[in-house]
Amino acid sequence: MRELKSFVLLAGQLHFGRAASLLHLSQPALTKQIRRMEGELGSPLFERGRHGTALSSFGKQFLKEARTMVTGFERLLERAQSSARGESGHLSIGFGFHTLEFVPRLIVRLREIAPGIGVDLRDMSTAEQVEALRDGKLDLGFLRLPAPDAFRILPVIKDRLVLVSSPALPLPAHATLADCRERPFVSITEERAPGFFNHMLRLCAKSGFHPRVVQQVPEFTTALALVQAGLGIAIIPESVGTSRFPGMRVHPLKDKDAAWSVGAGWRKGDTNPALAKFLQLLKEEMKNA
């Protein structure tokens, strides 16, 4: 590539002395480069005569492709350097209901400081994110902790379980989980969120019962709509909120085991510069929180 760039510059100058100066080479070194190219190609690139230097017929043909090659290489180099600085590249990020507001806010900031980074966002459960991280389909996920040892983890937020009811099937204002042993429950499916589902079962078992689940659904918004309609009560993460469902009543669960943490997780040894840029932004966000 260095010899190609020398050839293209000399073809524009048609003067060995000026071209060598621009290339920061001695004139004999430039001459040696060109002669080496001509030897490899099997034909002269320049004609040297008393009127100076001129491109040969073969040199004129070769110049067209050489210019394209040099321009393409310089663009490739620029893109690679931009990617290495974390200014461009690609990220695939998984997130769940815990970070439904937090992650989009980060992506807006990332667009501001590194608009060249393309981002895929995927709404997934922790179990789905763990599998995708292991398979290399995600660069980073926001996972319910604890997470597998194969990942680096940065704790991000805390969440906790709460009970929700509605006037259609009311609970006393200060109801505890133990008060709900005879009540029908609406729950998200174990397949969709196995970590959450098992957490709910453990908490109910601690209160001495197994919840009577009358309906399982794939999304918390659907569960809340069914609670509002009077099908049952539900245990949901506090972060989900109930503002879109007027009249809903939230009953905090004071048990310390109702709380858990969510952290950003990524593969150990991942050297993706775009990931490093996002993690830098994430750490700044956590510091200012």
For residue 78, what is the domain's CATH number? 1.10.10.10
131 and 214: one domain?
no
Per-residue confidence (pLDDT) for residue 192, from 0 to 100: 85
The reply to whether 244 and 196 lie within a common domain is yes
Output b/e per residue, 110-147; b: 16+ Cβ within 10 A: beeebeebebeeeebbbbbbbebbeeeebbbbbbbeeb
CB-based contacts of 183: which residues, under 8 Å, 6+ apart? 169, 171, 212, 232, 233
pLDDT at 83: 66
**Both 15 and 68 in a single domain?**
yes
Q: Name the amino acid, one letter, at 33.
A: Q
Q: Please tell me the predicted confidence (pLDDT) of residue 116.
A: 86
- Shared domain for 256 and 266, answered yes or no, is no
d(CA 135, CA 20) in angstroms, rounded, equals 51
Report how far residue 249's alpha carbon sits from residue 172's, in angstroms, rounded to the nearest whole number.
Answer: 10
Q: pLDDT tens, 192-232?
A: 888 889 999 999 999 999 999 999 999 999 999 999 999 99
Domain with residue 216: its CATH number is 3.40.190.10
**Is beta strand 116-123 parallel, antiparallel or unpaired with respect to 88-95?**
parallel
> What pLDDT was estimated at residue 85?
66
101 and 151 belong to one structural domain:
yes
Domain residue limits at 174:
159-260
Q: Which residues of the chain have pLDDT under 50?
A: none
Residue whose structure tokens are 């709910």 = 200
Q: For the chain, give the percent of residues with pLDDT over 70.
A: 97
Domain count of the chain?
Answer: 3
**pLDDT for the residue 171:** 93
- Statement to judge: residues 169 and 254 lie in one domain: yes
Q: What is the pLDDT of residue 87?
A: 67
3-class DSSP state for residue 189? coil
Identity of residue 124: M
